[in-house]
Structure 1
Amino acid sequence: MQLKRVVVTGLGALTPIGNNIEEYWNGLVNGVSGAAPITYFDAAKFKTRFACELKNFDVKDYIDRKEARRMDRFTQYAMIASDEAIKDAELNLDQLNKYKVGVIWGAGIGGLETFQNEVINFAAGDGTPKFNPFFIPKMIADIAPGNISIKNGFMGPNYTTVSACASSANAMIDALNYIRLGHCDVIVTGGSEAAVTIAGMGGFNAMHALSKRNESPETASRPFDAERDGFVLGEGAGALILEEYEHAKARGAKIYAEVVGGGMSSDAHHMTAPHPEGLGVIAVMKNCLENAGINPEDVDHINTHGTSTPLGDVAELKAISEVFGDHAKNININSTKSMTGHLLGAAGAIEAIASLLAMKHGIVPPTINHSTVDDNINPDLNLTLNKAQEKDINVALSNTFGFGGHNACIAFKKYKQ
């Protein structure tokens, strides 16, 4: 069976360093940190008192107040980013076969704030079960793509992938395969997360996952640096329009790049820690290259998972050295989490967008906050430290991994007719 070509025709982003694609890209290339003290609740007694929250954001600027009240923040974010992507793709909703337009979305947690608040309210009462009728519809992780499809009338596949921080990368790979096999013409894909909450911060602190650099939040996310001490929690959404090539060509769509492959693997090692030798990461990148039909020496850029954790960063870079050998030194490697923080289930989407924009503009955003060399990291690797670098990118990979050992890698190639 001849697989169909798949291209990216629209992008949307809502991030801690920009509330749309243009702002997001400007923040990336200028090395802007999105980390700051938490404003959503009083974090004075928390071990970590900062996060990468959205800035200058008011949901009422995007969504009717009544509708917004019926959505958890993770769904609000999904609606806003997908609206931007649909507009960017210039999709004419009246001319689409909506039975062949799907929404495949990623969320690692879903409506955490809704769940948290409902339980807190119940616990504060007299035991009478008084719950908001929208409690369950707001909380469930699949409600974001449901709302996107309802708003736009998309009647193709509609579901959420849940694989912790790999969720939106898995969503993109599923979307790629549905279109490749001819089941869909267009899929809105990506992911969203809104875990900067009492429960989110408390839970990640309890497992010692977060940086505690409270005296200097803006420098706390420091992937590959010897003094890294954990990730910085972020929030937001990223959306991509994946489209069958001939369908896009027939309507004269602009094309950002071609999606040429995706790989998945499992560490089969530990609930939260990566395999120390990066065996699952080695496997996922090899799977992706094979699926894409590209050679290791073809790769110009890798946006790493790079969370700024002591174990994860070393394991991933070991894997890159193993897979790419001597060519690894020619690849511009970076971690945009140094700026955005870790958006959990939305990470794969916003980082894939970063890779696509790097390809479009010929500029690789920096890995900021690096000051101390880690002797456990191969010194020959170009980690794009502290300053953006110009680079002609023909092939880019985006790595995303999640608790439970979930690994996903997606490959993009510069569009050629």
Structure 2
Amino acid sequence: MTPLAEAAGTQVRPGAAPAAAGRPVVRPLYVTSAGVVTAAGQTLAALADPDPAAAPPAGPAVDEAAAYPPRPVLAVHGFDVKEHFGRKGTKYLDRLTSFGLVACKHVLRDGPLAGSREADGTRTGVVLATNTGSTSTHSTLLYDTLTMEKPYLVNPGRFPNTVMNSTAGQIAIRNGLRGLNATVAGGQTASLLAFRHARLALTLGRADRLLVGGAEELNAPAAWAWHRTGVLHEGAALGEGAAVFAVQRDPAP
């Protein structure tokens, strides 16, 4: 067995229940805080106990509805990243990165970690899951490249968003997180893979705590792609948002 596999699951924590013969011991991850951005609201309370009377309208923005396929859509309405971080440095942030930043803000600044030593960034990292990154940025830049008088006249401020790990990088930069930084792209199981990656990293001592979760944005090109694949049940809604958890190897003191 390789050292990586051994560190990931074969060392028994004192007091842990013995594993079945031939099966590795799976270490738990301890969740200390969480943050979300969803169509139901931008707090855990709104997600856990949604108020039907205060529910946001279903579907995309009215001026974009015609561009979407004929299936339910759950968008995060009324979202503006400037309300959370101001105008400085947010002009060219795409929706995907904005969701991730706000979810992490809830974890680090609005939750139990706010002002605590656990929020120190020296040994805190990020493991973020996504399906394809910002599809809207890719499609917009491609369209501009093909339709503008000169292809090099595209907006350079949007180029960083074309990199799949842009969101994880922005989260680390804005919050001073200098630990492990990784982006996991694994389709519909990406978030589960992100937690597996986080468990490996924590077990190997690459970080003391990690912000782990996933983020996706809603846009017409991606909506049509999912609609055409045929993998979604009829009537299944397309959505967007982010969920991030602060996890660590050992329980909080």
The secondary structure found in structure 2 opposite 1:98 is: coil
- Alignment equivalent of 1:204, drawn from 219, 222, 226: 226
Q: 142, 165, 178: which one pairs with 2:201?
A: 178
Contact 1:105 1:171 in 2 (8 A): yes
Q: For residues 97 and 235 of structure 1, do their structure 2 counterparts lie closer, same or farther at Cα, with a shift above 3 Å needed? A: closer
After TM superposition, give the deviation of residue 5 of structure 1 in Å.
Answer: 5.6
Residue 82 of structure 2 corresponds to residue 60 of structure 1: yes
Gapped regions of structure 2 (runs ≥ 5): 1-10, 14-26
Alignment of 1:260-339 (within 5 A): none
Q: Which amino acid aligns with 2:205?
A: G
Given that 1:38 and 1:49 are in contact with CA atoms closer than 8 Å, whether structure 2 keeps it comes out as no
Residue 118 of structure 1 aligns with an amino acid whose one-letter code is L
Larger deviation, residues 64-73 vs 45-54: 45-54
The answer to whether the 8 A contact 2:68-2:220 is kept is no
Give secondary structure in 2 for the equivalent of 1:137: helix
Q: CA RMSD in A?
A: 2.7
> 2: CA distance between counterparts of 1:115 and 1:19?
26
- Map 1:356-367 to 2 at 5 A: none
Query: Residue 247 of structure 2 is aligned with which of 242, 259, 262?
Result: 242
Post-superposition CA distance 1:21-45 (Å, at most 9, x none) = 11111129x7x98772321653336
Q: 1:35 to 1:96 in 2, by over 3 A?
A: closer
Q: Is the 8 A contact 2:39 2:239 kept in 1?
A: yes
The Cα of 1:50 is off from its aligned counterpart by 4.0
* Aligned residues of 1:108 and 1:165 also touching (Cα < 8 A): yes
1:9-408 aligned at under 5 Å gives the runs 9-27=32-50, 36-39=58-61, 41-44=63-66, 46-48=68-70, 50-87=72-109, 88-92=111-115, 98-194=121-217, 196-209=218-231, 229-245=234-250, 248-249=252-253
Per-residue deviation, 1:202? 2.2
Partners of 2:125 and 2:207 within 8 A in 1: yes
Q: 1:11–1:89: 8 Å Cα contact kept in structure 2?
A: no
Residue matched to 1:414 = none
Work out whether residues 125 and 211 of structure 2, in 8 Å CA contact, stay in contact via their aligned partners in 1: yes
SS state of the match for residue 240, structure 1?
strand
**Equivalent residue of 2:188, what SS?**
coil
TM-score of the aligned structures, taking structure 2 as reference length: 0.79
Unaligned runs of 5+ in 1: 211-227, 250-417
- 1:213-266 CA-partner distances (Å, limit 9, x unpaired): xxxxxxxxxxxxxxx5153110000010002325x21xxxxxxxxxxxxxxxxx
CA distance in 2, matches of 1:191, 1:60: 21
TM-score, length of structure 1 as denominator length? 0.50
User: What is the number of residues matched between the two proteins?
Assistant: 229
The 3-state SS of whatever aligns with 1:58 is coil
Contact map agreement 2:134 2:162 (CA 8 A) in 1: yes
- Cα deviation for residue 72 of structure 1 reads 1.3
Quick check: 2:113–2:119 contact (8 Å CA) kept in 1? no
What does the per-residue CA deviation read over 1:121-172, in whole Å, with 9 as the maximum and x for residues that have no partner?
2222234322222333112221111111112222111010010121122112
1:56 maps to amino acid: G
User: Residues 170, 40 of structure 1: CA spacing in aligned structure 2 closer, same or farther, 3 A cutoff?
Assistant: farther
| Distance in 2 between residues matched to 1:45 and 1:21, nearest whole Å | 31
